[in-house]
Amino acid sequence: MARAQTDERSELDLVAIACLVPSLLYVVLMFVYPFLYGLYASLQPPKGGAWSIANYLAFFSDPYQYRTIETTFALAIPNSVVVVLAALFLAYGMRRGIWMERTITTILVLPISLGVIFLSEGILGFYGTNGWLNQMLIGAGILAEPLELTHNFIGVTLSLFMQQFPFCFLMLLGYISGIDPSLESSARMLGAGPWTVFRRVMLPLIAPGLIIAFALVFVMSFAVFPSAVMVGQPAGSTRTISIAAYQQAFEQYDMSYASAIAVIMGVCQLLALIAIVLVRRRMTIATTMGVGKR
């Protein structure tokens, strides 16, 4: 419907260009240019003189640095899988509305607004060795020793889950409620059980949205920084690649090396996105999307 309202004139007149230029200029100057500058700076190490890939060689020959890639993948992949599955479970269950939907959606979205720092501070208090959860479990006689849930992998995963679940849930809920409900009822009428409906009708329709959600969550977790520092073990098991980049830039003041690490981080994200897109290509994409909302 919105499409029909578009102006038919396709040429850009002066007014249109004047409207677009400020924001376009901003994105180019402050986003595209720094990216290119970072790439350039990473190839100009302070000692090497002219063009040199010394920074990249240094990164990939130092286990303390290149291991961060492994750490980050090990953190980001399981986290994205858990977030997407949990969001799919809940969004699918809520597709036809549930009791107090508006309130529940608001509560689920709340963690987005609290921000990383507040969440991490709360996680330290609630899940910490002396936190409420451990006190409760020990008090109830379920545990003898407190669980180690913070300052390690689990802490970072908890923090990431709280930040990304709401976002992923909203996306999938929007996607799933856009599927024509009559498809489901037809399948039901033809004798399919709930599992068959999910497996053979709904899942193929949700799959593209699921893959987009997975890609977004993955890219976000790959750049994890504050949670890895606050509820993780930034010097050890959760030293992610963004911590490595930050330390080079603001502790060693080696902007050239830091830019190189940022480039490597970007390339890793890009490679992961390409892999995800390739997986999506191999799946048959259903074309009945979005009928319900039109």
Among 104, 274, 277, 279, binds other proteins (CB under 8 A): 104
Q: What sign does the dihedral 112-121-244-260 (CA atoms) show? A: positive
Is residue 209 within 8 Å of residue 172, measured between CB atoms? yes
Is residue 218 within 8 Å of residue 164, measured between CB atoms? no
Residue 125 touching other proteins (CB under 8 A):
yes
Nearest-approach distance from CB 218 to other proteins, in angstroms: 10
Nearest-approach distance from CB 7 to other proteins, in angstroms: 5
C-alpha distances out from residue 169 to 32, 120, 138, 173, 260, Å: 31, 21, 33, 6, 34
Residue 258 touching other proteins (CB under 8 A):
yes
Residue 275 touching other proteins (CB under 8 A):
no
Nearer of residues 54 and 228 to other proteins, judged by Cβ: 228
Which of 217, 218, 201, 209 lies closest to 174 in space, CA to CA? 209
Residue 109 touching other proteins (CB under 8 A):
yes
Residue 115 touching other proteins (CB under 8 A):
yes
Residue 231 touching other proteins (CB under 8 A):
no
What's phi and psi for 170, nearest 5 deg?
-60, -45
Among 58, 74, 203, 219, binds other proteins (CB under 8 A): 219
Residue 7 touching other proteins (CB under 8 A):
yes
Nearest-approach distance from CB 5 to other proteins, in angstroms: 5
Q: Which stretch binds other proteins (CB under 8 A): 44-52, 53-61, 62-70, 253-261?
A: 253-261
Residue 222 touching other proteins (CB under 8 A):
yes
Q: Exposed/middle/buried for 118, CB within 10 Å: 0-12, 13-18, 19+? A: exposed
Nearest-approach distance from CB 169 to other proteins, in angstroms: 9
Which helix (H) or strand (E) segment is 54 a member of? helix 54-61
Q: Which stretch binds other proteins (CB under 8 A): 51-59, 63-71, 118-126, 280-288?
A: 118-126
Residue 236 touching other proteins (CB under 8 A):
no
d(CA 258, CA 248) in angstroms, rounded, equals: 5
Nearest-approach distance from CB 236 to other proteins, in angstroms: 17
Q: Residue 51 has which token pair?
A: 């063009």
Among 45, 111, 155, 232, binds other proteins (CB under 8 A): 111
Site for other proteins in 149-168 (CB under 8 A): 162, 165, 167
Residue 20 touching other proteins (CB under 8 A):
yes
Nearer of residues 69 and 162 to other proteins, judged by Cβ: 162
Site for other proteins in 51-90 (CB under 8 A): 86, 89-90
Distance, CA of 181 to chain centre: 29
Is residue 248 within 8 Å of residue 138, measured between CB atoms? no
Which of 162, 177, 178 lies closest to 217 in space, CA to CA? 162
Q: What sign does the dihedral 124-125-130-132 (CA atoms) show? A: negative
Residue 286 touching other proteins (CB under 8 A):
no
Residue 174 touching other proteins (CB under 8 A):
yes
Q: Residue 137 has which token pair?
A: 């479990």
